[in-house]
Amino acid sequence: MAEMTLTKTRLAGGFWEGVLTGAPMEPRLSVHWDERTLPDVEITPSDGVHLVRIPIPADVVSDGVQTVVVSNDETGERLTSFAVLAGEAVEEDIRAEVDLLRAELDMLKRAFRRHCSETA
């Protein structure tokens, strides 16, 4: 059997949608968030592939980064994941990361300039 691949097509209207290839006639997927299984996953056969539609519950849209993992229910193999980022905590996290990146870039610039002056 071919390896199953799940490719995102869009995220809209509270649904994550994708195309599943290499799947058996009746594939079974499990979708997990925060140690919970998300219900009502739709899998529809279409022209040799399967269209997957995952409803995103309102609980997933909350402060911070929430990660949803989609797996092959039979093998447990992770097929894909997606993250939902929201709220003030994310803004603070991103600012902190940018500050760290700036500091690292400044350090690299100093080291590069020192290297150039020593080898010139």
- CA 113 – CA 103 distance, rounded (Å): 15
51 and 97 share a domain?
Answer: no
Tell whether the model's pLDDT for residue 1 goes beyond 70: no
Residue 53 sits in a domain whose CATH number is 2.60.40
| Structural domain boundaries, residue 23 | 1-86
Residues 82, 116, single domain; the answer is no
- 64, 111: one domain: no
| DSSP code of residue 101 | H
CB 84 within 8 A of CB 54: no
Q: pLDDT tens for residues 6-31?
A: 999 999 999 999 999 999 889 999 99
Say yes or no: 53 and 81 in one domain: yes
Give 69's contacts (C-beta < 8 A, 6+ positions apart).
31, 32, 33, 78, 80, 81
> What is residue 53's predicted lDDT score, i.e. its pLDDT?
98
pLDDT tens-digit series, residues 36-93: 999 999 999 999 999 999 999 999 998 888 899 999 999 989 999 998 988 776 677 7
- Beta carbons of 6 and 20 less than 8 angstroms apart: yes
DSSP β-bridge partners for residue 10? 17
